[in-house]
Amino acid sequence: MENIQKQYGITVREAMSLDIVNRLQVVGGREGLDRVIKLVNVIEVPDIMDWLIDGEFLLTTGYSFREYPELLETLIPRMSQAQSAGLAIKTKRYLDEIPSEIIVSADEHNIPLLEVPFDLSFSEIIAPILGVVFNKQNKILQKLEQAHKKLMDLALNGSPLEELCKETGKLISNPVAIIDREGVLIINDNAPDKDKFELLFSDKSVQVKQEKLRFGNTKEVKYSLEYSSATEMPISIKAIRIPIIAAKYEYGHMVALINRPIYEPDILTMERAATIAALEFTKRKAIFEIEKSYYSDFLEILLSADFDNIDEIIKRGRIFNIDLDTPTAVVIINDNSNNDIEEIHDYMSMNGKRSKEDLLKEINSFFRLHGTANLIAGIKGNNVVIVLGLAENGPGELKETVVSLLKYLKDSIRLNMKINIGVGRANEDIRMIGRSFEDAREALKIAQLSDTAQVVFFDNLGFYKILSEKNRSELEKFVEELLQPVFDYDRNKKGDLIKTLETYYETNRNLKLTSTKLYTHYNTVLYRIKKIEELTGISLDNPENALNLEIAVNILKLFRNNSV
């Protein structure tokens, strides 16, 4: 920290080499001569104790202490707490000599204690010290001004973020990169220590240290991070990160590796660079929102089949990078863990919840990585909907693509989501895209019901496919005829017969396992099953009747998941 502070001033030892100042004599606190003087102040009033600050070199004649000697005894400890630079006392006027207890205290706290010759005025001491201090601080201001001009030129010229990182790294003499909220590393291809940045944000690294730092007069809290790779020979990496924020939205962080000492001007330069980066991210977000709107509008047209001229729709599809001359299928992706987000701050932090927009970006990233561009994706309600163009091998390609997508989303360290996917049937006629969408909705309902299946293909629904193709009113009537007495009983008696019946079928009609899952005594479950048989007039020992009841229970589950 001493080297950092020296940028803003001069050490007491160096000050004593200046003309005039070299006449002062050190009488105590010699171990603290490398404390840095950032400003000089004369104290001749008792309440100066309340105004001590970091890097302050104090001069006094002892005038205020002749009537309050007890204050002089507490001065040195208070200066130590405030990180003051030193104390010079002019004797022979109000104090004949410097009290021995003050010298002892200066030695104890390593506060340089100097005696000023009687014939020297304070202005003769202050002028040369402040001359050096002001010169150093002026150089800092010049450096900041040059950095500001360079960064503004980059902003005005619309330079990419990679160039911003490169120039910021030059300005602070340390490599710089940006990690966005999706975990994407933005860095100049020729940047030094690129491999360290990749390690820093890989799943092979763990954070082993975090500390709050304060640089000079910079009041914001910064973080020093130290990472160690999970290898036989750990590699420790220290870095400073600055948040990139605009309109209370965090887009990521600007990160600098600490290969050389970091000073306050470097932090201020990074903050200005982070502001420019925030402007770029804001612009990208605005473009993304506009593109999302166009994509969503066209997606709605495809899903609703609200068009007359097929050739015109195919032509428009090429603008959105999808070839509608090929077979198509609809895929619906739902993040069940993310449906209740209402406020932006709920997913603002790097490790917080993610928005549907983040999920959409991850999906687009997957298709870019796999060189697949024959699709259009957008947000519809709580889901991301994809119309996917397929090659000749339609069903096989569709299954392979969706399974790979699910694996990509599950393996992504940047997402903490409960993903369910419903996949509709592939069709060659684009007017059937709406039907494929309905297929995918039904498949997604089943995926959400299942404790294990995260992706469900409509073609594999089997029994559920028959249900999904029936009129809802017919299914409701079927359920009502079988279970209405049970509904009435539960409502009037506040019972759990329906829940018990559902669990009974979920456990493959195992009464013991049903009681375990319901945390209910075996005899209570047995009583409830017999009550259901009594109310419905159905014997569960009869295979046909038991199957009808099981079908009714599964239809009921589907109705409860009609939010897709």
Would you give per-residue pLDDT tens digits along the chain (564 residues)?
344 445 668 899 999 999 999 999 999 999 999 999 989 999 887 677 778 888 899 999 988 777 777 777 788 999 999 899 999 999 988 888 888 889 999 999 999 999 999 999 999 999 999 999 888 877 777 777 888 888 888 878 878 899 999 989 888 889 999 988 877 888 888 877 888 888 777 766 766 677 666 554 444 555 556 666 556 666 778 888 888 988 888 888 999 988 888 777 888 888 889 989 998 889 888 887 888 788 888 888 998 887 888 888 889 888 888 888 888 999 999 876 544 333 323 322 333 445 677 788 888 888 887 777 788 888 888 889 999 988 765 677 888 888 888 888 877 655 556 788 999 999 888 889 999 999 999 888 877 766 566 888 888 776 666 665 566 677 788 888 888 999 999 889 888 999 998 898 888 889 999 899 999 999 998 999 899 989 988 888 888 878 888 888 877 776 665 544
Dihedral angle computed from the Cα positions of residues 499, 500, 503 and 507, in that order, rounded to the nearest 10 degrees: -170
How far is Cα 402 from Cα 252, in angstroms, rounded to an integer?
A: 29
Query: Are residues 431 and 376 both part of a single domain?
Result: yes
Query: Are residues 331 and 250 both part of a single domain?
Result: no
Residues β-bridged to residue 238:
226
Domain assignment present for residue 289? The answer is no
Domain assignment present for residue 66? The answer is yes
Helix (H, G, I), strand (E, B) or coil at 401: helix
Query: Are residues 513 and 371 both part of a single domain?
Result: no
Q: What is the pLDDT of residue 120?
A: 93
Domain assignment present for residue 398? The answer is yes
What Å distances lie between residue 212 and 240, 338, 461, 544, CA to CA? Answer: 10, 32, 56, 70
Domain count, the chain: 4
Query: Are residues 251 and 320 both part of a single domain?
Result: no
Last residue of a domain, one of 435, 462, 489: 462
Q: What is the pLDDT of residue 35?
A: 93
Domain assignment present for residue 296? The answer is no
Chain centroid to CA 74: 47
How far is Cα 294 from Cα 506, in angstroms, rounded to an integer?
A: 44
Helix (H, G, I), strand (E, B) or coil at 262: coil
Domain assignment present for residue 530? The answer is yes
**What letter would DSSP give residue 427?**
B
Helix (H, G, I), strand (E, B) or coil at 376: strand
Query: Are residues 190 and 265 both part of a single domain?
Result: yes
Which CATH number do you get for residue 530?
A: 1.10.10.2840
Query: Are residues 268 and 346 both part of a single domain?
Result: no
CB atoms within 10 A of CB 541: 8
Last residue of a domain, one of 426, 442, 462: 462
Query: Are residues 20 and 81 both part of a single domain?
Result: yes
What Å distances lie between residue 536 and 72, 435, 472, 480, 529, CA to CA? Answer: 94, 37, 22, 11, 11
How far is Cα 207 from Cα 230, in angstroms, rounded to an integer?
A: 11
Last residue of a domain, one of 462, 489, 523: 462
Query: Are residues 310 and 263 both part of a single domain?
Result: no
- Whether residue 147 contacts residue 265, with contact meaning beta carbons closer than 8 Å, is answered with yes
Which CATH number do you get for residue 14?
A: 3.40.1390.20
The token pair that represents 386 in the structure block: 């994809």
Phi, psi angle pair for 207, to nearest 5° = -80, 125
Query: Are residues 396 and 377 both part of a single domain?
Result: yes
Domain assignment present for residue 323? The answer is yes
- Whether residue 234 contacts residue 247, with contact meaning beta carbons closer than 8 Å, is answered with no
Could you list the residue range(s) of the whole structural domain that residue 347 is in? 305-462
Which CATH number do you get for residue 454?
A: 3.30.70.270
What Å distances lie between residue 78 and 63, 71, 84, 109, 555, CA to CA? Answer: 19, 10, 9, 10, 76
Query: Are residues 106 and 124 both part of a single domain?
Result: yes
Q: What is the pLDDT of residue 423?
A: 92
Query: Are residues 479 and 408 both part of a single domain?
Result: no
Which CATH number do you get for residue 263?
A: 3.30.450.40
Domain assignment present for residue 358? The answer is yes
Domain assignment present for residue 153? The answer is no
Chain centroid to CA 189: 24
Residues β-bridged to residue 246:
249
Query: Are residues 51 and 185 both part of a single domain?
Result: no
